[in-house]
Amino acid sequence: MRRLVPFVLVPILLVPAAPVAAHKAPNGPTATGYGGAVASVDPTATAVGLQVLRDGGNAVDAAVAVAATLGVTEPFSAGIGGGGFFVYYDAKSGRVSTLDGRETAPQSMTSTAFVNPATGQPYAFQEARVSGLSAGVPGTLATWDTALQRWGTRSLSRSLRPAADVARRGFTVDATFNQQVTDNQAAFAQFSSTSALFLPGGAAPAVGSTLRNPDLAATYDLVARRGIGAFYGGEVGRDIVTTVQQPPRAASPALPWQYEIRPGGMTIADLRAYEVRRPAPTHVRYRGYDVYGMATPSSGGSTVGEALNILERSDLSALGRTQALHRYLEASALAFADRNRYVGDYTARRVLDELLTDGFAAERACQIDPAHALAKPVLPGVPDGQYTGCATATGGAAPDLGQSTTNLTVADKWGNVVEYTLTIEQIGGNGIVVPGRGFLLNNELTDFNFTPTQGTAEDPNLPGPGKRPRSSMAPTIVLQHGRPFLALGSPGGSTIITTVLQILVNRLDLGMTLPQALAAPRATQRNTAAVTAEPSFVASPEGTALAGLGHTYTPMAEIGAATAIEFLGHGKLLACAEPVRRGSGSAGTVR
Ligand code: GLU
């Protein structure tokens, strides 16, 4: 996150200017008020969104402007080189809709694309990641365009303007930005375009320095003038294809890289064929609330939903924190086993819906032993409509990881709500800036499983032509009596699912306020031998008690970087971002 970013909204200037002084204090992580709200990881982006709302834009207009700004200030987590999932509550109709802007594999992709033909072994993760091979056809610009056309009140061109202005004028580099470059220095150094933008003078931009991205400003301006066709088939698209097919390698990289840099097979036809999908949201009832999430290719909605259904079999609020968290961990593991077995881009909707039935949840919940943690990995269940016992399937399971991505939450004065998670997959994506265009490409295709993970059963997440890799992104909108109660989401790879789930349990079952629910120590059980947990969770009294039940821990410094808005009634909004994680986020209300 950028902190203390000097910024005001001004018309586009044609010459680069120094960043201007803030006209008001940056927003902190929590805000209560009226007239609309924005929560994101970044104060500049939140300020842009609030200004759009003040100027009469709606939640969709603001969300696109926030996302475009994050593409500038959070270029390693988001941007037009990536994809994401957009969930929208429309106040007029009372309906929740979703947009699937996930990156898509090119037609040339095969099921063994991530297996080295020379050795028959899957590529090392970094070898697969830092390549043209890992880049999917980006969906982000098409998502913005579709969202604005369906529900917005402003043009894409107008919505890109504040972000283009930030890119042109520059923003102040903070410690998180500096660290993210430092962590990627060797990968970035391999590419002339990436080094030129993010390694000025051969090192990460200094904390406190101003970073300008005139190429990205020009790309936004070009799309503003010509529409997204400039990207999906036009000159930007051609540059993407060239970058993927012939990664722009530095002549003599300042740092070594131990892997071969492999080209990808994306073509201009793949870009032209890109489509935003509009799947029906997933839906479960949980303790009287209606919880809406993202359907395939994300596993976010179905996995959060299944775990909630399992948890609803017991009254968590009456059990005490340790038992509630025990069940949270076990429900997560069970739901992840099912996700890994059944959920991928081509999962039939009836299978996804079956995973979300109460009958299936009952069959899964009955496996939880209050006195002992289950041995992990647990086996997947059998969502066959016949639920009489504690049936399990056979075969293995595989977790996956990631830490990039960003999330934003917006509400407007009319009651519309946007929950939007967008990503370029790893922090720094595939490491390759499209030369002259100012944005990084994604490595989203490494979200496919490189080799089959389900034993003799079919793996739903192997690569394929035109296929979208399974995601864990879980933008979630919760309604109460048909009106928004809570909207939330987070980055964090597969920990996204448990972060969203844990915040819901904290807020709905454990009596925490929303800021407490976000701040609470996190733990994630994705059907692995040990629970991955923040040190503060491990050290808590519940952490100790859970160890007594047989849970073991792998510590992780930070899990997730959530944003959320709670609707307090009578138009009052509580907007929340992280108080500490990822350098803290930024929430604000219009009034
Ligand atoms: N690529 C991941 C997914 O779609 C998100 C990456 C992350 O949040 O770190 O699930």
Alpha helices in 411-540 (DSSP H): 495-508, 514-519, 535-539
CA of 299 to the centre of ligand 1 (A): 11
CA distance 455 to 457: 5
Q: Which amino acid residue places its CA nearest to atom 1 of ligand 1?
A: 425
CB atoms within 10 A of CB 283: 16
Q: Which amino acid residue places its CA nearest to atom 6 of ligand 1?
A: 493
CA of 129 to the centre of ligand 1 (A): 13
Atom number, ligand 1, closest to the C-alpha of residue 473: 10
User: Is 560 known to sit in a ligand binding site?
Assistant: no
The CA-based angle 388-389-395, given to 5 degrees, is 120
User: Is 472 known to sit in a ligand binding site?
Assistant: yes
Atom number, ligand 1, closest to the C-alpha of residue 492: 8
Atom number, ligand 1, closest to the C-alpha of residue 402: 9
pLDDT at 27: 81
Q: Which amino acid residue places its CA nearest to atom 2 of ligand 1?
A: 493
Q: What burial letters (b/e) apply to 572-589, b meaning 16+ CB within 10 Å?
A: ebbbbbbeebbbbbbbbb
Q: At 48, which helix (H) or strand (E)?
A: helix 43-54
Residue of 298, 303, 405 best suited for mutating to test ligand 1, as the one with most atoms within 8 Å of CB: 405
CA distance 484 to 230: 37
User: Is 290 known to sit in a ligand binding site?
Assistant: no
Name the residue among 88, 98, 134 with its Cα closest to residue 277.
98
Q: Any idea which residues carry the catalytic annotation?
A: 405
Question: Residues 6 or more apart from 488 whose CB is under 8 A from it?
Answer: 409, 419, 476, 478, 500, 503, 504, 562, 563, 564, 565
Q: Which amino acid residue places its CA nearest to atom 3 of ligand 1?
A: 471
CA distance 381 to 355: 9
Q: Where are the beta strands (DSSP E) in 43-157?
A: 83-90, 95-101
CA distance 316 to 510: 7
Residue with tokens 């395939």: 296
User: Is 447 known to sit in a ligand binding site?
Assistant: yes
pLDDT at 59: 98
Helix (H, G, I), strand (E, B) or coil at 40: strand
pLDDT at 20: 35
CA of 25 to the centre of ligand 1 (A): 31
Question: Any idea of the CA torsion for 479, 484, 489, 495, to the nearest 10 degrees?
Answer: -20
Look up the pTM and report it.
Answer: 0.94
CA of 83 to the centre of ligand 1 (A): 10
DSSP letters spanning 286-312: ETTEEEEE--TTBSHHHHHHHHHHHHT
Residue ranges around ligand 1 (CB below 6 Å): 402-405, 423, 425, 444, 447, 471-473, 491-493, 496
CA of 104 to the centre of ligand 1 (A): 14
Q: Which amino acid residue places its CA nearest to atom 5 of ligand 1?
A: 493
pLDDT at 404: 59
Query: How high is the mean pLDDT in each 10-residue block of the chain (591 residues)?
Result: 36 37 62 97 96 98 98 97 98 98 98 96 97 98 98 98 98 95 98 97 96 98 98 98 98 95 98 98 98 98 98 96 98 97 97 97 95 94 90 58 75 98 97 98 97 92 98 98 98 96 98 98 96 98 98 96 97 97 94 94
304, 281 contact by CB (below 8 A): no
449, 340 contact by CB (below 8 A): no
Residue of 140, 302, 304, 404 best suited for mutating to test ligand 1, as the one with most atoms within 8 Å of CB: 404
- In which order are the strands placed within the sheet that holds 523-524? 523-524, 531-533, 553-555
User: Is 272 known to sit in a ligand binding site?
Assistant: no
pLDDT at 393: 63
pLDDT at 1: 41
